[in-house]
Amino acid sequence: MKLHNIAIIAHVDHGKTTLVDKMLSQSGSFRDNQRVAERVMDSNDLEKERGITILAKATSIVWKDTRINIVDTPGHADFGGEVERILSMVDGVIVLVDAAEGPMPQTKFVVSKALKIGLKPIVAVNKVDRPDARASEVINEVFDLFAALDATDEQLDFPILYGSGRDGWLAATPEGPKDQGLAPLFELVLKHVPEAKTEEGPFRMLGTLLEANQFLGRIITGRIISGTVRPNQTVKVLSRDGQVVENGRVSKILAFRGIERQPIEVGEAGDIVSIAGLVKASVADTFCDPQVTEPIQAQPIDPPTVSMSFLVNDSPLAGTEGDKVTSRVIRDRLLKEAEGNVALKVEEAADKDSFIVSGRGELQLAILIEQMRREGFELGVSRPRVVLQRDPETGDIVEPIEEVVIDVDEEHSGVVVQKMSERKADMLEMRPSGGNRLRLLFHAPTRGLIGYQGELLTDTKGTAIMNRLFHAYGPYKGEIAGRNNGVLIANEPGEAVAYALWNLEDRGPMIIEPGWKVYQGMLIGIHSRDNDLEVNVLKGKKLTNIRTQSKDEAVRLTPPIRMTLERSLAWIQDDELVEVTPKSIRLRKRLLDPNARKRDSRKAEVEVA
C-alpha cells in the first residue's frame, strides 16, 4: 500500500483538531453507528477541559488504496517543542489559516520550521462561512509570509483550498462545491505530497514522541527511515552524540489505524509506528540494527525562555491534602516529564529541596503543575522568571524578546499601547483588521508580559485577543515596574471568620472565603495601598447578654477574587509562593515568620545600598 505522511499545522483555534475529526469520519475510519467524542484527538482530560491541543498525536486514514498518516499538532507557542520534533516524521504539511484572522504568530513559527527542512505546504483557508471572512486578502498575507520566510519557488507555488472544517468540506473556491466533502483535500495530498521517503540499509528510526503505558511500559513513536522491524528483534539505541544508550528487544510494534493503535507483525520503512519493550530509550535517540554506528541527526530545539522554582511544600498544612510531598517523588516526576518533553529543562537547586524547571512559557509550566496536582502532588511554586543569557561577543546580558500581536477594538487601543510601553515594548505596526478592530504588533521583553493577559482583558472589557511568540534574544531593557498593590497577610493559624473578613473589606478585596483554613504568613487579600499589612481573620463578634431592640447587622460579604493557577503565578511577587495541592491553591509569603521577613528586607536594603 502506498504511504503518505502529513502534519496539520496552524495557530491556536484555527480548527486543526476539528478538521482531523472530519477527515477520520469521511474516510470511513468510524462505523456508521459508532459513538465518537467531539475533537477525538484531544484525548487527555486537560485538553478536553480547555479545548486546546497540548500533545502532538498521530492517526491514519485509508483513501483509494493509499494510507495517509496524519499528525495533529498543538497551536500554542508554549508547546512549540512538540511541533519542532514531529516535522521530521512527515513529508508535507497542511497549513490551516482562519479566513478572518489570517496568519498569526504561531502560524509563522511552525511554517518557518517546515519550510526550513524543505516540506511542501498545502494552504487550507478555514472558516470561510464566518461573516467577517476575507479569504482573498488572507491568501495574499500567507504568500507574503512565505516570501518573508525565504521559501523556495517550489514552496511558493502552493495549492489552495477553501472551506469549513466544522462542516466537513473543502473546495478550490470559497463558494464550493460543498457536496464533495473533503475529497478535494485527500486528492491533493495524494498528488502534491511526495510518498514517504525511505533509504536503503538496515533498520533505523528516530524517536519523536514518548509515552508510558501501564501494560507495555515505555512506548516510543517515530518514523522508520530504513529497513524493517519485527517483534522480538534485537535493536540498539544510540544517543544524539553516538553513545550506546541500551541494547534491547522489541516486545511489540503498534501502528496507527484510525484512532486506534493496533499490533502489527512488521514495521516497514516510511511508516510511523510505536515500539514497546525498551527501558531507557527517549526522544531524539536513534533506534537501529546492532550493526549501525551513526545516529540520525535530530532537529535542534529552540531553548527555554522562562523558568520557575518547584519547592517541597513546607507550609503548616503540608501533607493534609496530597500524598506525594517529598523532594524525591517531585524530582522523579519532573525528570520523567523532561525526558519526554525536550522543550523542558530540569535542574536541581543547591539546597536539594527545590528544582528549577525551564520551559517555553507560563502556560506550558502551568499545565505541568496542573497535571501534577491531579496526580496527588503537593508543592510550592515561585513566580516565573525569564532565562537571561550573556552575548558571547560583547559579554552583555541579553533577554528573550517576544513578537506580540494584539487584536483590539479601536476604542481600547490607547490603553493597550500605554500599558505595553510601560512594559518596555516597541510598537512596530498598527493596522485595521476589519469590524472597527485594530491589529497591533509589538516586540516586547518576556519579563514584561508575565501577568499581562488578565490586565489586558480587564482594560478591554474582555474583547482583546493576544498572541505571543518567541522572537529572539535582545539587549536587556532595564527595570519594569511590578505589582502596584501590597497584600493582606494572616497573622495567626485557624479558620477564617465571616465577621472578621467583613470588617477587613475596606482594606481591600479578599481572595479567601469564610471557613478556609489559614496560617501565619498566608495571603488572604489584596491591600488597597502599596504596602503589606498583617491582619487577623479569626476575630469573631463579641457576644453579650444585653438585649437591644436594634437587630444585628447581617454580614454581607463581597464575593472574593478567584485566584486560578495561571492568575496566581502571574500575580505573585518574588518573595511569595503559590502552594499547590490536589484540592487547593493558596498564596503565601516565602518566609512565613514576620520577623524573618523583616530581617530579609533589611538585608536586601543593605545589599542595594
Q: Report the binding-site residues.
A: 13-18, 126-129
**Residue 488 to residue 504: CA distance in whole angstroms:** 9
Where b means 16+ CB within 10 Å and e means fewer, 35-57 reads: eeeebbbbeeeebeeeebbbbbb
**Residue 369 to residue 330: CA distance in whole angstroms:** 11
Helices 452-459 and 413-422: crossing angle in degrees, nearest 10, is 150
**Residue 542 to residue 529: CA distance in whole angstroms:** 29
Q: Which residues pair with 96 in a beta bridge?
A: 10, 124
| Residues 283/207, Cβ–Cβ less than 8 Å | yes
Check residue 208 and report its DSSP letter: E
Neighbouring CB atoms inside 10 A of 74's CB total: 27
DSSP 58-88: EEEEEETTEEEEEEE---SGGGHHHHHHHGG
Amino acid identity at 197: K
**Looking up cell 524530582, which residue turns up?**
331
DSSP 561-601: P---HHHHHHH--TTEEEEE-SS-EEEEESS-SHHHHHHHH
Amino acid identity at 221: T
| Distance in angstroms between the alpha carbons of the first and the last residue of the chain | 74
> Which residues does 440 contact at the CB level (< 8 Å), separation at least 6?
405, 406, 407, 408, 413, 416, 417, 420, 427, 429, 430
> Which residues does 155 contact at the CB level (< 8 Å), separation at least 6?
115, 120, 121, 146
Q: What 3-state DSSP class applies to 322?
A: coil
**Residue 245 to residue 290: CA distance in whole angstroms:** 12
CA dihedral 49, 52, 53, 59 (to 10 degrees): 80
| Residues 288/203, Cβ–Cβ less than 8 Å | yes
> Which residues does 293 contact at the CB level (< 8 Å), separation at least 6?
238, 242
> Which residues does 70 contact at the CB level (< 8 Å), separation at least 6?
6, 7, 8, 20, 23, 58, 59, 60, 61
Residue 178 burial (10 A CB sphere; 0-12, 13-18, 19+): middle
> Which residues does 127 contact at the CB level (< 8 Å), separation at least 6?
14, 15, 98, 99, 100, 133, 164, 165, 166
Neighbouring CB atoms inside 10 A of 175's CB total: 9
**Looking up cell 484527538, which residue turns up?**
41
Neighbouring CB atoms inside 10 A of 25's CB total: 18
Q: Closest Cα partner for 505 from 548, 537, 467? A: 537
Which residues are annotated as part of the binding site for GTP?
A: 13-18, 126-129
Residue 583 burial (10 A CB sphere; 0-12, 13-18, 19+): exposed
